[in-house]
A and B are shown apart, each in its own frame.
Chain A
Amino acid sequence: MKKIPFQTLSLVTLAAALLLGACKPKNAGTAVSGDAGAKAYVAPGKYDEFYSFVSGGFSGQLSVYGLPSGRLLRVIPVFSVDPEKGWGYSEETKPMLNTSHGMVPWDDLHHVQMSQTNGEIDGRWVFGNGNNTPRIARIDLATFRTTEILEIPNSGGNHSSPFITENTEYVVAGTRFSVPMDFNNGDVPINTYKENFKGSITFISVDKEHGNMDIAFQLQCPGVNFDLSHAGKGKSHGWFFFSCYNSEQANTLLEVNASKNDKDFIMAVNWKKAEELVKAGKGKKQAVRYASNRWDEKTHTATSTIKNEVLVIDVKDHPELVYLIPCPKSPHGCDVDPTGEYIVGSGKLAALIPVFSFDKLQKAIAAKDFEGEYEGIPVVKYESALYGEVQKPGLGPLHTEFDSKGNAYTSMFVSSEVVKWNIKDLKVLDRASTFYSVGHLMIPGGDSKKPNDKYLVAYNKITKDRYLPTGPELSQSAQIFDISGDKMQLILDFPTIGEPHYAQAAPADVVKGRSIKFFDIKANEHPRATKSEADAKVIREGNKVHVYMTTIRSHLTPDNIEGIRMGDEVYFHVTNLEQDWDVPHGFAIKGADNAELLIMPGETTTLKWVPDRVGIFPMYCTDFCSALHQEMTGYIRVSPAGSNVPLTFHTGK
């Protein structure tokens, strides 16, 4: 007989006890049944099956969780400063958060996309969108660090983003808030929305080798609210689909005024056609300002470049470029099934889910089967593009993911459930309650050509009583369902960072082999790197003092510095000389208004410090590194301005 670990047995017993009570509920915990505990259990020291990358929403960051354990593996700083890691505080990372508005220390990271090759997740990069000050970030999965942030001009509320094409040719950014174009006068009355406000859809090219992003072109569209999007795949590769609401073009009390029309639209964009137009010189170069921030792995330093021009194509001048499909009612999710044939629009105020057919859409376009125009764009007849409708799916459909067996899973915000339905016959197969009010949901690969459909995670908007109370503010809850059988089974709850919107996940093997363990010190090209203790030094350049410091278990070199004067700006360029995995050192100095540094092995990072008073200032390593970590300290002496204390430094004299 195979030996069953004790922990598993006790979990099964616990789960069985829960099951016995299933029909006589006492509390919300009894919603869990059967072998749920065992299914989510990953033994100590064992790895999870999947990496999941979960948007942090208003935290601005990206969190990494293991599935199915729900264990938090990492929080990667993206759009928000993170003093713990010196992100946005170190001299090297400050340029990453630069924008045309200057340094913006926060954003609202809504959606996550992992890069794909041939429609399958390839594990190279993760993209995330900044919703507030429109930006796209790229996270490199070799280092699990944000290595690029690109600002999007002509946009306000970068929401239908950062969805990608099946070979990561493009990342898109659709504006949620239409605004006057940056190159036009924006000083107009707000109630001239219909006349002056436009919606931009931005196509950003991604360099195949390095991942670098550049704006290829922007489509200038009617002023509406673009909400979500997904690329076509397989047969529909070359097309992109965007949901939009507020076809009423309201500019106040949208809650009411943008909910009047029975149907809004899904906009189908033929981006191959757009490429042809660009090649034929049809776009117009417009003067704008936006920041392109890139991280250089060799110098461990970011550079921010302000760019001044973007290529804009006005869609109304090119009738074969975009088409509108009527979609009931205020569509939110816009999801394409693994075959690329079915496009699911989730009208958040609709009592049904429409499923559109790519083939039918193409026929309707060829036959010019239009019901009219909207702001110069042809509107395809609803029935001509419709495959069918899922009737009475629930209340408040938001998002849909897919499995590999021809089924779709739609989140229902108002009725607080996940509904599983069959794409072919449009019949509801199963429904599972969520706690409470699910927003996005995610199946690993569930929006790609190749879903890996073992688990589904629901990201809930309302937590209420799921965990021990923590005052008025609660962590948002996520719930994992086992979807390997016919019926969805809730197996785990876990709290999350910020407010997760979308997430992506991939089998661990797709990602883990890429993860590096440290930076090669020989390859460190930071201009102020110190590659041996012998090279540690302190150099005065006017009132700027550069400290070339090294760290190794367990001392700072130099650790005694004198001759700093009031009025000086001191730059600590700290190089971590370690060349082993998981030996970061930290650096902090008393009174610094500039956070700390965490320096990975082989890396050089800089903290700027302006002393505010005369005296002795201790500094120390903040990351417990060895048995003598408490000894990894030093002192700096600050003297009055004009003092003749000579500049000296040493360790161990």
Chain B
Amino acid sequence: MKRTFLTAIILSVILFACGGGQGDSKPAATDGASETPTTSTGAPAYDPERGEGKFKDVEVPETLDPALAAAGEKVYSMKCASCHKLTDERLVGPGWKGVTLRNTAAWIMNFTTNPDEMLDKDPKAQAQLEICLVRMPNQNLNDDETRQVYEFMRQNDGVK
């Protein structure tokens, strides 16, 4: 986690050091995104639908798992509610209403667990940062908690 965050920072520093961002009027936070890393086959390595992190294909059933959502609400109360409302109103971070309609499960779960790297790479995350001006801290949710919170988000978005 920390290493990837660092790498992103170093990357932007090196871009700078190698002449990639000098005198550029763009905020440095977006410099990392200006040069999209590619894989050996030449395909873009960053998938903006999935985000960056450990979650790839998250299986989400059509109906809600109420027990899972209830567990998610508990996590939300302790680790998320100080900054995120359940309406569409921004507090410190954006309100959660509609978040599951705008983003894939993998994107949300990756952002939840890997915010630093995503803030350095992901255009949607960066757009939110320009509005909120606070980098979402890593609240260190484990995989189960992350899935629980995602289920709670789905419940908040009206999934039955």
Q: Smallest distance from the beta carbon of A474 to chain B beta carbons, Å?
A: 13
- Can you list, as one digit per residue, whether each of B1-37 has a CB less than 8 Å from chain A (1) or not (0)? 0100011011111101110011111111100000000
Write the nearest CB–CB distance from A178 to chain B, whole angstroms: 24
A299 at interface by CB-CB < 8 Å: no
**Contact between A392 and B27, CB atoms less than 8 A apart:** yes
In this assembly, does A4 line the interface, its C-beta being within 8 Å of a C-beta of chain B? no
Q: Among the listed stretches B69-77, B101-109, B128-136, B144-152, which one makes contact with chain A, having 4 or more residues with CB under 8 Å of it?
A: B128-136
Residues of chain A lying within 8 A (CB to CB) of residue B135: 414
A contact residues around B29 at 8 Å (CB): 394-395, 414-416
User: Do the beta carbons of A465 and B2 come within 8 Å of each other?
Assistant: yes
Contacts of B21 in A (CB 8 A): 431
B60 lies within 8 A of chain A by Cβ: no
Chain A 274-310, CB within 8 Å of chain B: the 1/0 string? 0000000000000000000000000000000000000
CB <8 Å contact, B7 and A25: yes
B16 and chain A: residue at smallest CB distance: A433
Contact among A394, A415, A430, A435 for B22, CB-based, below 8 A = A430
Whether A255 lies near B92 (C-beta < 8 A) is yes
Contacts of B58 in A (CB 8 A): none
Measured as residues with beta carbon below 8 angstroms from the partner, the interface class of chain A is: 35 or more
B159 in the interface, Cβ–Cβ < 8 Å? no
A511 at the interface (CB under 8 A from B): no
CA distance A482 to B17 in the complex (A): 15
Question: Which of A31, A391, A428 is within 8 Å of B13, CB to CB?
Answer: A31
> In whole angstroms, what is the CA distance A435 to B10 when docked?
10
Q: Mark B82-96, 1 if CB is under 8 A from A, else 0.
A: 000000001110000
A464 surroundings in chain B (CB, below 8 A): 2
Is B129 a contact partner of A31 (Cβ separation < 8 A)? Answer: no
Instruction: Give 1 or 0 for each of A409-434: 1 = CB within 8 Å of chain B CB.
Output: 00010111100000000011111110
Give Cα A190–Cα B111 distance, bound, in whole angstroms.
39
A-B contact count (CB 8 A): 85
Say whether A644 faces chain B, with CB atoms less than 8 Å apart: no
What is the distance, in angstroms, from A115's C-beta to the closest C-beta of chain B?
Answer: 36
Q: Using known A-B contacts A27-B6, A396-B133, determine if residue A415 contacts B28 with beta carbons closer than 8 Å.
A: yes
Evaluate contact between B27 and A433: CB separation under 8 angstroms: no
Give complex CA distance A255, B11 in Å. 32
Q: Are the CB atoms of B129 and A28 closer together than 8 Å?
A: no
Cross-chain contact B2 with A395 (CB below 8 angstroms) = no
Looking across the interface, which residue of chain B has its beta carbon closest to that of A487? B22
A392 with B26: in contact, given A414-B129, A414-B135, A465-B6 (CB under 8 Å)? yes
What is the minimal beta-carbon distance from B88 to any residue of chain A, in angstroms? 14
Closest CB in chain B relative to A626 CB, distance in Å: 50
On chain B, the residues within 8 Å of A349 by CB distance are 133
Q: Which of A394, A429, A433 makes the CB contact (< 8 A) with B12?
A: A433
**Which B-chain residue is minimally distant from A419 (CB atoms)?**
B28
Give the most central of A415, A435, A464: most B CB within 10 Å: A415
Q: Assess whether A30 is in contact with B14, with CB atoms less than 8 Å apart.
A: yes
- Within the complex, the shortest CB–CB distance from A635 to chain B, in Å, comes to 56
Query: With A and B bound together, what is the CA distance between A28 and B14 in angstroms?
Result: 10
Contact B28 A431 (CB under 8 A): yes
Residues of A within 8 A of B130 (CB): 351, 395
B interface bracket (residues with beta carbon within 8 Å of A): 20 to 34
Per the bound structure, the CA–CA distance linking A521 and B78 in Å amounts to 63
CB proximity of B4 to chain A, nearest CB, Å: 12
Expressed in whole angstroms, the Cα–Cα distance for A435 and B28 within the complex equals 13
Given contact pairs A30-B14, A255-B92, A256-B91, A433 touches B28 in the complex (Cβ within 8 A): yes
In the complex, the chain A residue whose C-beta lies closest to that of B135 is A414
Minimum Cβ distance to chain A for residue B130 (Å):
7
Q: How far is the CB of B96 from chain A (nearest CB, A)?
A: 16
Q: Name the residue of chain B whose CB is nearest to the CB of A33.
A: B17
**Residues of the B chain whose Cβ atoms lie less than 8 Å from the Cβ of A22:** 14, 17-18
Alpha-carbon gap, A141 to B13, bound state (A): 39
Nearest CB in chain A: distance from B37 CB, A: 13
B19 to chain A, nearest CB (A): 10
Complex contact A27–B10 (CB within 8 A): yes
Q: Which residues of the partner chain B approach A433 to less than 8 Å between Cβ atoms?
A: 9, 12-13, 16, 28
B33 to chain A, nearest CB (A): 13
From the candidates B7, B14, B23, B27, name the one contacting A23 in the complex (CB within 8 A): B14
Residue of chain B at shortest CB distance from A23: B18
When the two chains form their complex, are residues A28 and B10 in contact, meaning their CB atoms are under 8 A apart?
yes
Cβ contact within 8 Å between B23 and A414 = no
Q: Which residues of A contact B11 (CB under 8 A)?
A: 25
Contacts of B7 in A (CB 8 A): 25
- State the Cβ distance, A431 to closest chain B Cβ, in Å: 6
CB pair B27–A31 under 8 Å, yes or no, is no
Other-chain residue from B16, B90, B129 in contact with A431 (beta carbon distance below 8 A): B16
In the bound complex, residues from chain B placing their C-beta under 8 Å from that of A28 are 6, 9-10
Q: Which residue of A lies closest to B116 (CB)?
A: A464
A465 CA / B9 CA spacing, docked (Å): 12
Cβ–Cβ < 8 Å partners of A23 in chain B: 14, 17-18
Inter-chain CA distance A429–B21, complex, in Å, is 11
Given A396-B133, A465-B2, check contact A415 B25 (CB 8 Å).
no
Task: State in angstroms the CA–CA spacing of A162 and B7 once bound together.
Answer: 40
Kindly provide the distance from the CB of A467 to the nearest chain B CB, expressed in whole angstroms. Answer: 14
A414/B133 in contact, CB under 8 A: yes
Q: In the bound complex, how far is the Cα of B10 from the Cα of A433, in angstroms?
A: 9
A26's nearest neighbour on chain B, judged by CB, is: B10
Q: Which residues from chain A contact B2 at a C-beta distance below 8 Å?
A: 464-465
Known: A256-B91, A414-B133. A391 touches B17 (CB 8 A): no
A418 to chain B, nearest CB (A): 10
Closest CB in chain B relative to A426 CB, distance in Å = 11
A23-B18, A431-B16 given; 5 more Cβ-contact pairs under 8 Å:
A22-B14, A30-B10, A415-B29, A427-B25, A428-B23
Q: 27 A–B contact pairs at CB < 8 A?
A: A25-B14, A27-B6, A28-B6, A28-B10, A31-B10, A31-B14, A256-B90, A348-B133, A392-B26, A394-B29, A395-B129, A395-B130, A395-B133, A414-B29, A416-B9, A416-B29, A417-B28, A430-B22, A431-B22, A431-B24, A431-B28, A433-B12, A433-B13, A435-B9, A436-B9, A464-B2, A465-B6
9 A-B pairs with the lowest CB-CB distances in the bound complex, closest first? A25-B10, A415-B29, A415-B27, A31-B13, A394-B27, A392-B25, A417-B28, A415-B28, A428-B25
Which residues of A are interface residues toward B (Cβ below 8 A)? 22-23, 25, 27-28, 30-31, 33, 255-256, 348-349, 351, 391-396, 412, 414-417, 427-433, 435-436, 464-465, 487
